[in-house]
Structure 1
């Protein structure tokens, strides 16, 4: 097998488990590693394993992409893969790692499952954001429309297809996928959705009226928006990467025509993940 490896270079406290995992991988796979993480492997971890450096193009014969880190590393890998839909196995060496499948220490003993095909593939929907005629971007977690200055709010006129929904007076508006329901949207009290839902979440950020609540809508709708602000500009954020635009520029957000395919090696369910990583249902009153 041939795999592409993305990784975080900031997890020196996880050096031993990362090293053991990479050694196990190199025993069954040809490793193509992003340049900076490849330097980390050989210079910081001092591993004597055979690797090649990833160029800008994805090799045609790649079987999997593996991300070693947290959710940010996984998002970086998914954006690199794009519409090629190569399966991604996300291994956690960070803190929460909600999008990851297993921790690095567990993954060492699961490498053989890739080789023998003992895994499942899950599909995650993405958002497509079209801003004006010249900008198109994609997001796995969320598209966020945000104000630029701290002093003034923005107004976001929002339509569901051609049906007018509301003018959101707020610091921003998040449009999240089911995958992104546990990310930025959750921090502003948006609902959690299971990854197989076919919906999007609209979650206002610091709305200036109390009757603006998160809203779940079908993902086959086109969300049309116009932003207005005293500053005459706003920020559009795709999975945390922000771009400035002039107010009044038309925005359309739809479901993308491709998906992110994730490798599920562990047997943990989404409910297991909620309980383990978000303390779902934990009795916090116990001393």
Structure 2
């Protein structure tokens, strides 16, 4: 019984007529995509129901496929409620139009949804869906991040990345970390004063990690990539500010600030930490089955 999530955002209060028209067009394109995809599903001999992303709060069970209609953010939100048994198909409801970017690029950001993880758009949705139903298109298994604080596992797995930092972006983050394999250390203890610690999967390596100077990874890699953000005077430990965490390794960090937050796949899901907390991060989470675009 397929199921899908729907996501959209509307901005108001901007005086520029071109921007308002652009945003209104985005809203219309998204809603047209919803109606179009629902009409396709109604033609198929399958059971399905539509669920707005704001109403997604419980684990997703008892379905054969999740279809997210929106962009990568909608797929990410659904992934937090999914285990490693149900595949997800992302449909980019509002992809960027190159001609718009060229026409309006000097006035405002005319890019639409990136949809990096979305295997379908409205125009090929039925073709992709049929390929899935007929077993011709199969999902890939993407690595996720599992975290624990003081040996207690957090309930949310990260598909893209996590950021551990002080809740105020202008404040210093203090922590130490080392990489372990089992109980054996694989790196020296690294003491950090910085703006935080980011850890990404291969999926997330082309997002904030790459923007901060990291490198893109093959999307099926099981490694994690970590980076200390804006380290202050790293000295002898500078070689350990950025690197990889192998599938059999764990990065263990001790937080030494009074306040701290673990942000998972952006800012919407977060957990507070305090001085003395020990955070363990690894790729030992259940994978996520994703129908990927052919270019990935």
- The residue number in structure 1 matching 2:86 is 86
The reply on whether 1:30 has 2:47 as its aligned counterpart is: yes
Relative to structure 1, is the Cα distance of residues 36 and 164 closer, same or farther in structure 2, using a 3 angstrom cutoff? closer
The reply on whether 1:19 has 2:35 as its aligned counterpart is: yes
Q: For residues 199 and 117 of structure 2, what CA distance do their matches in structure 1 show?
A: 18
- 1:225 Cα deviation (Å)? 0.4
Q: Kindly indicate whether the alpha-carbon contact (under 8 Å) linking 2:143 and 2:221 is maintained by their aligned counterparts in 1.
A: no
**Aligned-partner SS, 2:215:** coil
Per-residue Cα deviation, 1:83-125 (whole angstroms, up to 9, x for no partner): 4x20101111241111211223332443322222220220001
- The residue number in structure 1 matching 2:217 is 193
The reply on whether 1:239 has 2:246 as its aligned counterpart is: no
Residue from 139, 151, 171 that aligns with 1:121: 139
Q: Kindly indicate whether the alpha-carbon contact (under 8 Å) linking 2:53 and 2:74 is maintained by their aligned counterparts in 1.
A: no
Q: For residues 186 and 138 of structure 1, what CA distance do their matches in structure 2 show?
A: 21
The reply on whether 1:177 has 2:204 as its aligned counterpart is: no
Q: For residues 113 and 150 of structure 1, what CA distance do their matches in structure 2 show?
A: 45
How many residue pairs align between the two structures? 248
Q: For residues 281 and 68 of structure 2, what CA distance do their matches in structure 1 show?
A: 28
Output the aligned Cα RMSD.
2.4
Per-residue Cα deviation, 1:176-195 (whole angstroms, up to 9, x for no partner): 11111122212211110011
Q: For residues 55 and 254 of structure 1, what CA distance do their matches in structure 2 show?
A: 25
- 1:255 Cα deviation (Å)? 1.7
**Aligned-partner SS, 1:130:** strand
**Aligned-partner SS, 1:75:** helix
Per-residue Cα deviation, 1:12-68 (whole angstroms, up to 9, x for no partner): 232323322221122113212225689xxxxxxxxxxxxxxx8946453x2211111
- The residue number in structure 1 matching 2:158 is 139
Relative to structure 1, is the Cα distance of residues 254 and 12 closer, same or farther in structure 2, using a 3 angstrom cutoff? same
Q: For residues 55 and 237 of structure 1, what CA distance do their matches in structure 2 show?
A: 18
Q: For residues 78 and 53 of structure 2, what CA distance do their matches in structure 1 show?
A: 14
Residue from 200, 204, 207 that aligns with 2:228: 204
- 1:226 Cα deviation (Å)? 0.7
- The residue number in structure 2 matching 1:3 is 2
Relative to structure 1, is the Cα distance of residues 220 and 112 closer, same or farther in structure 2, using a 3 angstrom cutoff? same
Relative to structure 1, is the Cα distance of residues 20 and 191 closer, same or farther in structure 2, using a 3 angstrom cutoff? same
- Structure 1: where are the runs of 5+ without partners? 39-53, 271-287
Q: For residues 42 and 233 of structure 2, what CA distance do their matches in structure 1 show?
A: 56
- The residue number in structure 2 matching 1:256 is 284
- The residue number in structure 1 matching 2:100 is none
- Structure 2: where are the runs of 5+ without partners? 10-25, 95-112
- 1:244 Cα deviation (Å)? 1.5
Relative to structure 1, is the Cα distance of residues 17 and 148 closer, same or farther in structure 2, using a 3 angstrom cutoff? closer
